[in-house]
């Protein structure tokens, strides 16, 4: 049990319709993924505000915000990049008394459904999942990041290396229509734009 976990107490909602709210900051989230404990650490304390109100029967509506700042690697040069997120939360909730740990499942409508059984609800799992869903798959530390040399691993932002001198990278980008610097393809694979690069044999 993590004492710093973001929590919201839903006991009053289970007794009578109404709404409850909670807010605060978290530096990290302890959660489980496929039964394995995980920790998600933020670059700075992440502010959250959650409001939950009663719907029909055993259902509730959660809304609020979460503003985690992640540290991810530049997908071309692997430098750490600070990624601030502003997540808007809106999730249907369902109370099932027998459920020990809350979890997200897909409702019949295709929406996410947060299922909980403990009225003292730990929001760690939920906020961690929303963060992972909301974070970009790849980031660049600079839109013009030159990446690492695929031969020697040198950071080409600092200076060219002997390999990049042989075939200037800018020319190579320009000569390949469809693979522009900054394109989706190039972002997903830092070396995609260099895959057709032919080094002179001497
Ligand atoms: Zn970079
Ligand atoms: Zn090199």
Between residues 19 and 175, which one has the greater pLDDT?
19
pLDDT tier for residue 170 given thresholds of 50, 70 and 90: low
Between residues 171 and 38, which one has the greater pLDDT?
38
pLDDT in tens, 26-55: 999 999 888 899 999 999 999 999 999 999
Question: Which ligand is in closest contact with the Cα of 141?
Answer: 1
Question: Which ligand is in closest contact with the Cα of 81?
Answer: 1
Q: Is it the case that residue 119 has pLDDT exceeding 90?
A: yes
Q: Are 65 and 48 in contact (CB under 8 A)?
A: yes
Q: How far is the CA of 163 from the centre of ligand 2 (A)?
A: 4
Segment 163-170 shows an average pLDDT of 61
Q: How far is the CA of 95 from the centre of ligand 2 (A)?
A: 58
Q: How far is the CA of 143 from the centre of ligand 1 (A)?
A: 8
Question: Which ligand is in closest contact with the Cα of 149?
Answer: 2
Q: State the Cα–Cα distance between residues 76 and 119, nearest whole angstrom.
A: 45
pLDDT tier for residue 173 given thresholds of 50, 70 and 90: low
Question: Which ligand is in closest contact with the Cα of 169?
Answer: 2
Which has the minimum average pLDDT: 50-54, 168-172, 184-188?
A: 184-188
Q: How far is the CA of 139 from the centre of ligand 2 (A)?
A: 23
pLDDT tier for residue 164 given thresholds of 50, 70 and 90: confident
pLDDT in tens, 124-135: 999 999 999 999
Question: Which ligand is in closest contact with the Cα of 164?
Answer: 2
Q: Which residue has the tokens 């909602």?
A: 13
Question: Which ligand is in closest contact with the Cα of 78?
Answer: 1
Q: How far is the CA of 188 from the centre of ligand 2 (A)?
A: 21
pTM over 0.85: no
Q: How far is the CA of 165 from the centre of ligand 2 (A)?
A: 9
Question: Which ligand is in closest contact with the Cα of 160?
Answer: 2
Q: How far is the CA of 195 from the centre of ligand 1 (A)?
A: 18
């Amino acid at each position: 049990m993590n004492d710093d976990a973001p929590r919201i107490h839903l006991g009053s909602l289970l007794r009578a319709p109404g709404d409850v709210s909670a807010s605060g900051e978290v530096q990290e989230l302890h959660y489980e993924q496929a039964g394995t404990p995980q920790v998600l650490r933020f670059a700075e304390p992440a502010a959250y505000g959650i409001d939950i109100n009663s719907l029909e029967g055993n259902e509730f509506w959660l809304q609020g915000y979460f503003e985690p700042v992640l540290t991810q690697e530049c997908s071309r040069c692997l430098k750490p990049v600070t990624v601030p997120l502003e997540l808007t939360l809106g999730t249907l909730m369902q109370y099932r008394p027998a459920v020990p740990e809350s979890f997200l499942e897909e409702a019949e409508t295709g929406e996410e459904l947060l299922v909980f059984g403990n009225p003292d609800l730990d929001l760690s799992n939920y906020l961690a999942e929303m963060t992972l869903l909301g974070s970009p798959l790849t980031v660049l530390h600079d839109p013009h990041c030159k990446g690492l040399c695929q031969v020697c691993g040198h950071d080409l932002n600092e200076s060219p290396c002997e390999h990049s001198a042989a075939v200037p990278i800018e020319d190579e980008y320009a000569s390949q229509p469809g693979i522009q610097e900054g394109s989706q393809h190039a972002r997903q694979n830092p070396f995609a734009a260099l895959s057709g690069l032919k080094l002179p044999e001497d």
